[in-house]
Amino acid sequence: MIGIICAYLKEAKPLIKYFDLKKINEKFSIYENEKISLIISGQGKLNSAIATTYLLSTKKISNIINFGIAGSPEFKIGEIFLINKINNKFFPDILISHTFRESEIICADEVKIGGEFKLVDMESEGFFKAAIKFLKAHHIYLIKIVSDNLECFKPDDKFMDELINPHLENIEKFFYSLKKEKKTNLSLAEEISKKYNLSFSQKMQLKDRVMFYLLNNRKLPKIDFEKTNRKNDFRRIMDEFKI
């Protein structure tokens, strides 16, 4: 299941409608279908961290996404970005192929009406610091849409629909690529791990290697040599996936 953290319901409404998510009774406002679970966190780092922790503690989440708006003195309103750096010290590990532009972001403690940075929000750091306790960095994503050029304003539902709706198809394709990557990655790694009786740690390393191999558009090797011992077999398997 894909988890989504949104600070505000206004940010989430276009996703809720597009993916036909239904509200469920929880301690938080959560909207779900069979493949997506979206939670409304509220504003700020702490609220984002609490909601992220709750979702990852109660749902079977394979990839988690912080989705929402961000201010920018540099980019145009309506531009969408996948975040590759937060506050110059946290780094989502973007290994998957995607169509978005990438950018760093600054996570502030209060609303900014000026400053020299590319993007700014108030939730990204709290989200990432909580998510990394549960998932590896290449399963944590932040998608931000520029809503303003650091001006104080209160967006209404119409503005948010016009801002987010043009990107929904590409967001859906991104979600699909996450599920496709997970299926391919897991099925091959599980098959090889079972065949050569790999340990849990070895299997996790193999999954990461297989994914990186696929993202570099390499043809998957056929692993079919005679078993010897676990340590030697694992070394030979990893050698087959060298780039």
Whole-number Å distance between alpha carbons of 96 and 91: 14
Choice among 12-21, 126-135, 230-239 with the minimum mean pLDDT? 230-239
Residues 155, 75 share a domain: yes
pLDDT, residue 181, reads: 60
Residues 111, 66 share a domain: yes
| Greatest mean pLDDT range, 93-107, 130-144, 213-227 | 130-144
Whole-number Å distance between alpha carbons of 71 and 147: 6
CA angle centred on 53, ends 52 and 56, rounded to 5°: 85
pLDDT digits (tens, 9 = 90+) for 91-131: 998 877 788 999 999 999 887 777 778 999 999 999 999 99
What CATH number is attached to the domain comprising 86? Answer: 3.40.50.1580
Residue 191 inside a domain? The answer is: no
| Greatest mean pLDDT range, 85-99, 120-134, 171-185 | 120-134
Name the domain count of the chain.
2
pLDDT, residue 27, reads: 84
pLDDT of 185 over the 60 cut: no
Domain stops at, among 130, 149, 178: 178
Residue 230 inside a domain? The answer is: yes
pLDDT, mean of residues 225-233: 90
pLDDT of 46 over the 60 cut: yes
Domain that holds residue 141: 2-178
pLDDT digits (tens, 9 = 90+) for 73-82: 999 999 999 9
Residues 220, 129 share a domain: no
Answering whether pTM is above 0.85, one says no
pLDDT of 29 over the 90 cut: yes
pLDDT of 38 over the 70 cut: yes
Confidence of residue 34 (pLDDT cuts 50, 70, 90): very high
| DSSP conformation class of 1 | -
pLDDT, residue 136, reads: 87
Write the CB contacts of 63 (distance below 8 Å, at least 6 apart in sequence): 2, 3, 135, 139, 140, 141, 178, 182
More confident residue, 177 or 198: 198
3-state secondary structure of 42: coil
Residues 207, 157 share a domain: no
Residues 135, 228 share a domain: no
Residues 16, 95 share a domain: yes
| Greatest mean pLDDT range, 43-52, 93-102, 185-194, 207-216 | 43-52
Residues 230, 200 share a domain: yes
Residues 113, 15 share a domain: yes
How many helical (H) and strand (E) elements, i.e. helices and strands, does the chain have? 7, 9
**Whole-number average pLDDT of the chain:** 90
pLDDT of 186 over the 90 cut: no
Choice among 42-51, 138-147, 181-190 with the minimum mean pLDDT? 181-190
Residues 202, 171 share a domain: no
Confidence of residue 215 (pLDDT cuts 50, 70, 90): low
